[in-house]
Amino acid sequence: MGYPLIGNPAPQFFDSNGDPLAAGTLAVLDPADDTNKNSYPTADDADAASNANSNPITLDANGRVVGLFGQDNEDYKLVLKDSSGATIWTVTDVFAPGRISSKGLDYTHSSTGGAARTLQSRLDEKFSVKDFGAKGDGSTDDRTAIQAAIDAAEAAGGGVVYFPAGTYLISNFIKVDDTGVMLEGVGGYLSNIFHGSDASQIAAIGSVIKLTNGASLSAHPTNGSDYPIVWFQGRDSNDSGMRWGGGMKNIAIWGNRVRTGATDPDDSGATANNSNGIGLYLEGVRNAWFSGVLTAHCANAGIKTVTGTVAPSKSFGGSWFTDCASHANKEEGLRYVGGDCSFIGFSAGYNGASGMYLVGGKTVSACRTWDNKGDGVLVGVGDIAITNHNSYDNDEAGIKIGAGTFERLLLNDIIVQDNGKDTSVTDKERSGIFVNGTVSGIISNVLAGNKQESGTAAQQYPVYIDKTDCNIQLANIQSNGVPINAQDETSYNGSPGTEGSFAGGASHAASNVITMERGFSVTVDAVSGGAVTEFTVSNSNCEGPVRAGETVVQTSTTGSGTGFEITFGTDNVHAHGTSDEVLNNSFPKEHTINGGVIQLTVQDPVAVITVDTEADASTDDLVTINGGYNGQVLIIAAANGARTIVVKDSTGNIETSGDITLDNAEDTCMLVKMAAGWLALSSSNNGT
Q: Give the pLDDT of residue 121.
A: 73
Q: Which residues pair with 128 in a beta bridge?
A: 162
Q: What secondary structure letter does DSSP report for 382?
A: S
**Is residue 631 scored above 80 in pLDDT?**
yes
Q: Which domain holds residue 497?
A: 492-566
Q: Which of 12-21, 319-328, 627-636 has the highest mean pLDDT?
A: 319-328
Radius of gyration of the chain measured on its C-alpha atoms: 38
* 88 and 33 assigned to the same domain: yes
pLDDT tens-place string over residues 95-128? 654 445 555 566 677 778 878 777 777 777 889 9
**Backbone φ and ψ of 657, nearest 5°:** 55, 45
What single letter denotes the amino acid at residue 169?
Answer: L
529 and 666 in a common domain:
no
Is residue 131 within 8 A of residue 163, CB to CB? The reply is no
Q: Identify the domain boundary among 519, 551, 566.
A: 566
Q: Is 445 domain-assigned?
A: no
Residues 225 and 271 in one domain: yes
Q: Per residue, what are the HEC states of 216-229?
A: CCCCCCCCCCCCEE
Answer yes or no: are the C-beta atoms of 610 and 639 closer than 8 Å.
yes
User: Is 10 in the same domain as 86?
Assistant: yes
pLDDT of residue 536 exceeding 80: no
Residues 101 and 133 placed together within one structural domain of the fold: no
Q: What is the pLDDT of residue 20?
A: 86
650 lies in some domain: yes
Is residue 198 located within the same domain as residue 271?
yes
E strand or H helix at 30, and its extent? none
Give the integer Cα–Cα distance in Å for 11 and 69: 11
Residue 595: burial class (beta carbons within 10 Å; 0-12, 13-18, 19+): exposed
Summarize pLDDT for 475-518 with one digit per residue, the tens: 788 776 555 443 332 222 233 332 233 332 345 666 766 654 43
- For the stretch 587-616, pLDDT in tens is 467 788 989 998 876 666 788 889 999 999
pLDDT for position 179: 83
Point out which residues pair with 168 in neighbouring strands.
Answer: 209
In a domain, 302, yes or no: yes
What tens digit of pLDDT does each residue of 241-265 get? Answer: 445 678 999 999 999 887 554 455 5
Based on the fold, state whether residues 186 and 303 are members of the same structural domain.
yes
**Bridge-partner residues for 179, per DSSP?**
none
- Which pLDDT value is given to residue 676? 85
What lies within 8 Å, CB to CB, of 549 at 6+ separation is: 536, 537
- Is 181 a residue whose pLDDT tops 50? yes
Beta bridge partners of 503: none
Distance between CA atoms of residues 649 and 625, nearest Å:
12
Q: Do the domain assignments include residue 57? A: yes
- The neighbour count for residue 624, using CB atoms within 10 Å, is 18
CB atoms within 10 A of CB 469: 14
Given a contact cutoff of 8 angstroms between Cβ atoms, the answer to whether 487 and 573 are in contact is yes
Confidence of residue 413 (pLDDT cuts 50, 70, 90): very high
Mapped to the 3 state alphabet, what secondary structure does 301-347 carry? CCEEEECCCCCCCCCCECCEEECCEEECCCCCCEEEECECEEEECCE
Here the CATH number for the domain that contains residue 149 is 2.160.20.10
Cis peptide before 605 (omega within 30 of 0): no
CA atoms within 13 A of residue 61's CA, in its CB half-sphere: 0
Spell out a b/e string for 435-454, using b for 16 or more CB atoms within 10 Å of the CB, else e. bbbbbbbbbbbbbbbbeebe
Looking at residue 16, its pLDDT comes to 76
The pLDDT tens digits of the residues spanning 41-84 come to 888 898 889 999 999 999 998 888 888 888 877 888 999 999 99
- CATH number for the domain harbouring residue 50: 2.170.14.10
Residues 533 and 600 in one domain: no
Do residues 159 and 230 share a domain?
yes
Look at residue 310 in the predicted model and tell me its pLDDT.
Answer: 66
Phi and psi dihedrals of 261, rounded to 5?
70, 35
Is 278 in contact with 226 (CB distance < 8 Å)? Answer: yes
Domain endpoint, select from 275, 308, 341 = 308
pLDDT confidence bin for 460, thresholds 50/70/90: confident
pTM (two decimals) = 0.62
Given a cut of 60, whether residue 240 has pLDDT beyond it is: no
Predicted pLDDT at 499: 26
Cβ-contact 612, 590 below 8 angstroms = yes
Whether 160 and 261 share a structural domain: yes
DSSP 187: B
Residue among 264, 344, 361, 348 at smallest CA distance from 302: 348
Phi, psi at 429, each rounded to 5°: -75, -5
- What secondary structure letter does DSSP report for 44? H
pLDDT, position 577 = 25
Q: Which of 11-20, 284-293, 384-393 has the lowest mean pLDDT?
A: 11-20
pLDDT band at 317 (very low <50, low <70, confident <90, very high): confident
The stretch 89-95 carries a mean pLDDT of 80
CA 422 to CA 402: how far, in whole Å? 18
Say if 339 falls within a structural domain.
Answer: no
Residue 569, Cβ density class (10 Å: 0-12 exposed, 13-18 middle, ≥19 buried): exposed
| 145-149, 183-187, 277-281, 446-450: least confident range | 446-450
Tell which residue, 142, 189, 137, has the closest CA to residue 161.
Answer: 142
In this predicted structure, what is the pLDDT of residue 560?
A: 37
Strands (E), 97-241: 106-108, 116-118, 126-128, 137-141, 159-162, 166-170, 174-176, 181-184, 207-211, 228-233
- Answer for the pair 555, 531: CB distance below 8 angstroms, yes or no: no
Of 504, 509, 498, 522, the closest CA to residue 561 belongs to: 504
Cα–Cα dist 121/125, whole Å: 7
Cα 518 to chain centroid, rounded: 33
Q: Is the model's pLDDT at 534 over the cut of 80?
A: no
User: Which of 532, 566, 600 is the C-terminal boundary of a domain?
Assistant: 566
Q: Does residue 360 sit within a domain? A: no
Local confidence band at 284 (pLDDT 50, 70, 90 cut-offs): confident
Instruction: Give CA 296 to chain center in angstroms.
Output: 13
Nearest alpha carbon to residue 516 among 491, 530, 533, 535 = 535
Say if residue 269's pLDDT is above 70: no
Between these two residues, 444 and 659, which has the higher pLDDT value?
Answer: 659
To the nearest whole percent, how much of the chain has pLDDT over 90?
A: 38
How far are the Cα atoms of 239, 363, 455, 522, 564 from residue 495, in angstroms, in the given order? 63, 44, 20, 14, 6
Instruction: Looking at the structure, tell me whether residues 178 and 300 fall in a common domain.
Output: yes
Asked if residue 229 has pLDDT above 60, the reply is: yes
Q: Is residue 366 part of a domain?
A: no
Total domains present in the chain = 4
Asked which of 186-195, 308-317, 377-386 is least confident by mean pLDDT, the reply is 186-195
40 and 143 belong to one structural domain: no
Parallel, antiparallel, or unpaired: how do β-strands 207-211 and 252-254 relate? parallel
Residue 337 domain-assigned (yes or no)? no
- Whole-number average pLDDT of the chain: 78
What residues form DSSP beta bridges with 665? Answer: none
Cα gap 640→46, rounded to integer Å: 101
| Other Cβ atoms within 10 Å of 18 Cβ, number | 6
Mean pLDDT for 231-245 is 63
Which of 247, 258, 336 is CA-nearest to residue 293? 247
Mean pLDDT across 181-186: 94
pLDDT value of position 416: 94
